[in-house]
Amino acid sequence: MSISTKYNPKEIEQKWYDSWMQRGFFHSEPNPNKEPYAIVIPPPNVTGVLHMGHMLNNTIQDVLIRRARMQGKEACWVPGTDHASIATEAKVVAMLKERGISKKDLTREEFLKYAWEWKEKYGGIILDQLKKLGASCDWERTRFTMEDDMSAAVTEVFVDLYRKGLIYRGVRMVNWDPLGGTALSDEEVLPKDTMAKMYHLQYAVVGADAAITVATSRPETIMADVAVAVNPKDPRYTHLHGKKVRIPLLGKEIPVILDEYVSIDFGTGALKVTPAHDLNDYELGQKHRLPTIDILNNDGTLNEQAQLYVGQDRFAARRNIVKDLQEAGLLVKIEEYASVLQTSERTGAVIEPRLSMQWFCKMDGMGKPALDAVMNDEIRLHPPKFKNMYRSWMENIRDWCISRQLWWGQRIPAFYLPDGSFVVATTASEALVLARQQSGNEQLQETDLHQDEDVLDTWFSSWLWPISVFNGFKDPDNKDILYYYPTNDLVTAPEILFFWVARMIMAGYEFRKEMPFKNVYLTGIVRDAQGRKMSKSLGNSPDPLDLIEQFGADGVRAGMLFSSPAGNDLLYDDKLVEQGRNFSNKIWNAFRLIKGWEIDESLPCPNQTAISWFESRFNEAFVQIEDHFSKFRISDALLAVYKLVWDDFCSHYLEMIKPAYQQPIDKGTITATVKLLENVLKVLHPFMPFITEEIWHELKERKQKEFLIVAPWPKKDKFDREIIARMEQVLQVVGAVRNIRNSKNIPNNKQLDLYIKVAHHEQYEPFMAIMRKLANLNEIQFVEENLDGAISFIVAGDEFFIPMEGNIDVEAERERLTKELEYTKGFLNSVDKKLSNERFVSGAPEAVISGERKKKADAEAKITAIEQSLAAL
């Protein structure tokens, strides 16, 4: 059989993925004879394409699901996508613009037709990309948050919560995205550090030749001012109590109000009160019963109520009003200061605090069981450091603004009567019955009712995901939901711990009276070498598909996990995936070496010690690997496998058993080695599925369904600590001999003699053949005295000697040692001077003095060793 000299992932990855799919290995059905293991994918947006964060997150999920599948569990990984209201609507609007169509010219139904067209064309791209990574999702279960059943669940939940009094409609200060034209929840707002300007404006005092200076960062909103507030204890403004001032440029009179909320030490101590455009001002306005003047349109332009700069964008209006204030002599000064700008997560637009009629979901009642579940570890966060962040958010939770002024999404099931009142119902026909009851008007028809134009926040569908993917609302007792729910593990990013995770926990307890999952693994953020978050705008994110093309899916998977402990950011470097590719090549070359040996069945097995050692070493490592998995230290689990494969199997074990050049190997050794390699492939498979499946099938003939993907996961077994410790000692000896060869320029093919001074030589006798082979030794003897004319070294208290006669140039070695002795004596002299300096010893920290004393002891020991070596020469 011809085996490729280089591992070529392009030739095998699609082959094995197709084989797994064709044989249904990814598909899962409830099986009462097997333990369920379920993961639901964090549904990526239908607008999305694979990025580095997806790569890390889905690699971890695939590692967990593949391991569970091999453990014999009924493993179910449910994939799907999120309809992403804001992002998708923006994409559709852009598509229409390219076709010369404006959303304003379309009816809702026409727009949605285009939106579905866009979704069908582009919405599955990211899932297809995940297949390139090797994601073993149950693709037959793929869900979409706007499927009919999923949307029906959202409507049902809205109606249920409304009837429980947990959903209400009202005017509140919300985060308004002028670019998206919709309200946002607090969690959809991203703070950005920036430098801003503070404008100091003069407000003339009515009836006096005086003015008060007010500082604001938003001069374009002064037309919406309804008061100026000062602290009643501020002596600077006592004379203004009960007075009025005029808004600059506008000339409108507004009162001076007194409130201890105003900080005497901040700014000028005088605060403009603009209830329609600032949350704190709104609360101040409510307290003092002040009017509210909203001067902004939905798109961020100024409306008629502004009176000035009508129709101008808010930032254009700011530039113009600053210019006009300067010309009018009403701008005292401008100061720059560090500020935090609130921006839309989806569009990047600067958020506008705005009073708006919206729908809200009460969080207090649902929040408590969700908080308790995490704090008492019923649901475990990995790493647990996120518990404090979770608690802080949950203890300060605010009502959730769930309405969005969009067309793409689940429409709010509220129906308005002609008199402006409304009913909430799952269907229009049900709404008609309720409307007739509520109004007492039996003549009402469905055409008299008008459904709310808004849609629900995308998260209002995805918080139901672990239940709705198993049709838990449509049929609460169906076999899927009863078998797979609660799911086992959730893998997601810390930035959506509140957006999504906390809300899913709330929904789980609210609608099924139990948790939605048992563990939450929180990945870190993938950053570049400079620590910046990877993003398209910075141009610092490689294309994951290009990486897979260049390094292979296995190399990329391993590379991403080499340095990504849970909850800690991953500083990405191409060297990581290069290391992953090199690991693939190392495994491939080990396989090629084994397959290249000719077998002679007549030969006895001379390698039992090596075989017994690696069996024990594997079992020891497997206990460590399982411990890492139990603690969700996935990166550590991979590193343990990496060390087992690279160091123990490839670098040590194969070298121990390798036959001499062009010589055959015995049947017993090759049989044991294939079995050992199979176990290695099993623990490596969840991390690197393609290359392991390829080698598994190339090692020997397999039955039709005897695939590695469903091979039994190894079980913990006993291991011999003594043989592991002894072999570790032997390998240190081999390493020391090799170091002496390197330092003395002794060729590797020249055999050396080794003499061992040890009390109990029986501990080395089983390993003599291995030592001879790995260190290329001729004679190994045990001695009771030191050996003259030899270089010595010590391992674990035992002394070893290598005779140098005939192996080195004595004069050259004497010259080298003499120079090293002179240097070391000089170094010792400088340390002695320091330690004899009374000022140094009395003034330096104890740790520094201890360090110098250690240097002295080390130098003295080195001098003794060099002098002994010179004497031996």
Give 75-97 pLDDT, tens digit per residue.
Answer: 999 999 999 998 899 899 999 99
Beta bridge partners of 173: 355
Mean pLDDT score of the chain: 93
The verdict on whether omega for the bond into residue 383 sits within 30 degrees of 0, i.e. cis, is yes
Secondary structure tally for the chain: helices H, strands E: 28, 31
Dist. CA 233–CA 213, nearest whole Å: 18
- Maximum CA extent, the chain: 118
Dist. CA 304–CA 313, nearest whole Å: 13
Tens of pLDDT, residues 632-653: 999 999 999 999 999 999 999 9
Measure Cα distances from 480 to 29, 246, 485, 489, 710 in Å.
8, 68, 8, 17, 22
Dist. CA 122–CA 128, nearest whole Å: 11
- Label residue 615 by pLDDT band (50, 70, 90): very high
Tens of pLDDT, residues 169-189: 998 888 999 988 888 887 788
- Using alpha carbons only, give the angle 304, 307, 312 rounded to the nearest 5 degrees: 70
Percent of the chain with pLDDT over 70: 99
**Residue 692, amino acid:** T
Dist. CA 774–CA 360, nearest whole Å: 73
Beta bridge partners of 80: 143
Dist. CA 421–CA 750, nearest whole Å: 98
Element housing 360 (H / E): strand 352-361
Tens of pLDDT, residues 237-251: 999 999 999 999 999
Dist. CA 748–CA 161, nearest whole Å: 78
Dist. CA 71–CA 63, nearest whole Å: 12
Per-residue pLDDT, averaged over 679-684, amounts to 98
How far is the first Cα of the chain from the last one, in angstroms, to the nearest whole number? 55
Tens of pLDDT, residues 861-873: 888 878 877 876 6
Going by the DSSP 8-state scheme, the letter that residue 712 receives in this structure is P
**Residue 732, amino acid:** Q
Return the structure tokens found at 741. Answer: 């060869």
What pLDDT is stored for residue 806 in this prediction? Answer: 64
What pLDDT is stored for residue 867 in this prediction? Answer: 85
Exposure b/e, 831-861, CB count within 10 A at least 16 = b: beebeeeeeeeeebeeeebeebeebbeebee
Tens of pLDDT, residues 416-458: 999 999 999 999 999 999 999 999 999 999 999 999 999 999 9
Dist. CA 143–CA 81, nearest whole Å: 7
Dist. CA 88–CA 103, nearest whole Å: 13
Going by the DSSP 8-state scheme, the letter that residue 419 receives in this structure is T
Torsion angle of the four alpha carbons 814, 816, 822, 823, in this order, in degrees rounded to the nearest 10: -160
Tens of pLDDT, residues 556-603: 999 999 877 766 888 888 899 999 999 999 999 999 999 999 999 999
Residue 78: Cβ within 10 Å count? 23
Return the structure tokens found at 765. Answer: 């006798």
Tens of pLDDT, residues 542-569: 888 999 999 999 999 999 998 777 668 8
What pLDDT is stored for residue 536 in this prediction? Answer: 63
- Decide: 74 and 31 in contact? Cβ < 8 Å: yes
Tens of pLDDT, residues 280-330: 999 999 999 999 999 999 999 999 999 999 999 999 999 999 999 999 999
The verdict on whether omega for the bond into residue 486 sits within 30 degrees of 0, i.e. cis, is yes
Task: Tell how far CA 559 is from the center of its chain.
Answer: 15
Measure Cα distances from 716 to 288, 647, 708, 726, 816 in Å.
71, 21, 19, 22, 52
- Decide: 272 and 225 in contact? Cβ < 8 Å: yes
Measure Cα distances from 414 to 266, 409, 604, 836 in Å.
46, 15, 83, 89
Residue 803: Cβ within 10 Å count? 17
Helix, strand, or coil (residue 379): coil
Per-residue pLDDT, averaged over 603-609, amounts to 95
Taking 70 as the threshold, does the pLDDT of residue 1 lie above it? no
What pLDDT is stored for residue 741 in this prediction? Answer: 87
Residue 661: Cβ within 10 Å count? 5
Tens of pLDDT, residues 773-798: 999 999 999 988 888 778 888 888 88
**Residue 727, amino acid:** M
- Decide: 452 and 198 in contact? Cβ < 8 Å: no
528: alpha, beta or left, given left = phi > 0 and alpha = psi -120 to 50? Answer: beta
- Decide: 347 and 179 in contact? Cβ < 8 Å: yes
Handedness of CA 797, 803, 807, 811 (dihedral sign): positive
Measure Cα distances from 85 to 91, 181, 408 in Å.
10, 12, 5
Return the structure tokens found at 832. Answer: 């002695």
Tens of pLDDT, residues 352-374: 998 889 999 999 999 999 999 99
Choose the weakest-confidence range: 563-577, 814-828, 849-863.
563-577
Per-residue pLDDT, averaged over 822-826, amounts to 92
